[in-house]
Structure 1
Amino acid sequence: MTNKVIQAAGGIVWRKAAPGAIEVLLVHRPRYDDWTFPKGKADPGEPLPVTAVREIAEETGYEVRLVHPLPEVTYRVKGGVKQVAYWTCRLVGDESDFQPNREVDELRWVAPRDARKKLSYEHDRSLLEAFEDVTAQKRHKSRTLIVLRHAKAMTRAEFDGGDLERPLAAAGHDRSKELVPLLTAFGVRRVVSSPATRTVQTVDPYIATTDELLELDDRLGDGVPAGQVERAIEALMGTKRPTVACTHRPTLPDVYAALGISGPVLSPGQGLVIHHRKGKVVASELI
């Protein structure tokens, strides 16, 4: 029996129904005659958050953004072991261009209690229970702040100029382009950066794909006093729009202190997705 691991991703997409109630989206797959949550296999080298958004769009016609992470689901399939990463997902617009096809021939919005009866697999029912725990704590309405360390920059020895103007290295520019679909998956609509060239260049490719304006904040710079960093983070936590804040490695400990968490040391171009509600961090994940 093969132990090949097949990576996949998907989500539980929800919408408001009657006052105080929600519905979740199920898909019917004619090949298996089953009802399940939208998901699919990752393309080679594709980050799982990108997979989740792409597969949901392909199967349902809905554009979504990822919000709160859900437990990973693992089960055996013919080709090995499938590991599926899931997120709670919010709609980006209400329209779907879904057309019945060989993969998915029907969509259905149902209340969670009805979904439990409709779902074909026990692992999906367990996932639904985790989602209901998230909704009971209102975490499905959490806001998103991505703390991003700038991508790899030229070294000081390589650059004949001031540190504030030091640009990205070739590998850093490559990474900045890779970040575009990741930031899109989390629906980023506000982009804030330290004024340093290397942080601005890290988010420039994403800015080029959106209508958003780049905001420069000196308080996210390298060597800024902790109190100023704290005030910057408090302001960012107050916005409803999913936000990315690009900063520097030496500034990260003060960012984490302002968030009230013990965060990881980020590699160049790596980010920590902070899910927060009413000023408190409720979940975090690396990208």
Structure 2
Amino acid sequence: MLGAATRRRVGGVPGRRQPGARPPDRVAARTPSTRVIRAAGAVLWRADGLVAVVHRPRYDDWSLPKGKLDPGETVPAAAVREVREETGFDAVLGRYLATVRYTAFGKPKTVDFFAARAAGGSFAPNDEVDELRWVPVAEAAELVTKDTDRDVLAAYAAEPTDLATVLLVRHAKAGKRDNWPGEDDLRPLSQAGRRQAEGLRALLPLWGPTRVHSAPRTRCVDTVLGVARDLGSQVLVEPRLSEEGYWPDREAGLVRLLEIADGAGVPVVSSQGGVIPDVVATLASLAGLPLTEVPCKKGSVWLLAFRRPEPGWSTSDSSASWPRLVSAHYLPSPLAAPVP
């Protein structure tokens, strides 16, 4: 549990909103042009600290595993699929690393990279890759052909591999409040919201979640209920992370999110549009992490990565006494997947 020092540290930041105020979505999720080639990949790492570099005979180059998105495929799903196809290893995604941009075949191309833990499998030469090497990061940076891959490896090496991951989800669509005759807390997902929830049920397991938390409103719980059922667990209710629970004691809500981040495994946390932007912006501000946009569309996910408290931290007001945000990456609803 995080103590009073954490509560003091997360309090008193600028930009406090009045209790009950709903901060608007500041930026809509961008829809990439279909003329842009979209691809995804990963820095695949093992417990011994080595990372995978592959040789592609078609290009006669050494590269990080990556490849183009299939039609309708999400970026994270493409990263996992391409790693499996090129290396033979199953990947559990971690933090987002970088997006690289360049021109390929006369068209602009973007490649989104994640860190990913090798979770089993074995390499066999295939149509795309004829050799795989497990090497230290510094050696990988010397081996890869493209400078863009070196940049991605530098982003990977900037933080340890044992970061705490939190998947912060805004609930899926639940129709208009005015059209629901009952209590707003009980407003269920709409048909579109149920489709979004099913999309999240396929997307979120790519990070290997181990527990599911949710604000108590029906639409928040139902958005992640399928993920919890697939884990054989129940949804853990978090009153502090609902709009009515967060704003009367904002510091307590932030502390609760940090406590969840500091627990074992990878948590999914379902909350509301009146909470998530403030949580993400505040934690980024406290960590000195530049974050100019905080979109929060229904059915979207913030992929958050934290450095855990240092061993032996005391209750003194120190940055080592609470998980520190090092990466925050926005993932639109899986139903808004780009079409390459």
Tell me which interval the TM-score lies in, with the shorter structure as reference length: 0.7 to 0.9
- 2:124 counterpart residue number: 99
- 1:148 counterpart residue number: 169
Residues 116 and 154 of structure 1: CA distance in aligned 2, closer, same or farther (over 3 Å): closer
- Structure 1: where are the runs of 5+ without partners? none
Instruction: Identify the match of residue 206 of structure 1 among 208, 227, 236.
Output: 227
Q: Does 1:163 align with 2:184?
A: yes
- State the 1:254 CA deviation: 5.3
Matched ranges for 1:1-287 at <5 A: 4-17=35-48, 22-78=49-105, 80-91=107-118, 93=119, 95-132=120-157, 134-135=158-159, 138=160, 140-224=161-245, 225=248, 226-252=250-276, 255-256=279-280, 259=283, 261=285, 264-278=294-308, 279-287=323-331
Note if contact 1:223-1:251 (Cα within 8 Å) is conserved in structure 2. no
- State the 1:258 CA deviation: 6.3
CA distance, structure 2, for counterparts of residue 164 and residue 228 of structure 1: 21
CA distance, structure 2, for counterparts of residue 186 and residue 75 of structure 1: 28
Give the TM-score normalised by the residue count of structure 2. Answer: 0.74
Residues 89 and 164 of structure 1: CA distance in aligned 2, closer, same or farther (over 3 Å): same
- State the 1:228 CA deviation: 3.9
- State the 1:81 CA deviation: 2.4
Secondary structure at the aligned position of 1:276 is classed as strand
Give the TM-score normalised by the residue count of structure 1. Answer: 0.86
Residues 198 and 107 of structure 1: CA distance in aligned 2, closer, same or farther (over 3 Å): same
CA distance, structure 2, for counterparts of residue 259 and residue 195 of structure 1: 23
Secondary structure at the aligned position of 1:82 is classed as strand
- State the 1:9 CA deviation: 0.5
CA distance, structure 2, for counterparts of residue 69 and residue 45 of structure 1: 20
- State the 1:268 CA deviation: 1.3
Q: Cα deviations across residues 159-202 of structure 1 (Å, max 9, x unaligned)?
A: 23222211011111111111123212222222101121101111
More strand by share: 1
- State the 1:44 CA deviation: 1.6
- Structure 2: where are the runs of 5+ without partners? 1-33, 286-290, 309-322, 332-340
Secondary structure at the aligned position of 1:239 is classed as coil
Note if contact 2:86-2:126 (Cα within 8 Å) is conserved in structure 1. no
Secondary structure at the aligned position of 2:259 is classed as helix
Q: Which amino acid aligns with 1:105?
A: D
Q: Which amino acid aligns with 1:223?
A: E
Q: Which amino acid aligns with 1:109?
A: W
- State the 1:108 CA deviation: 1.3
CA distance, structure 2, for counterparts of residue 72 and residue 160 of structure 1: 45
Note if contact 1:65-1:186 (Cα within 8 Å) is conserved in structure 2. yes
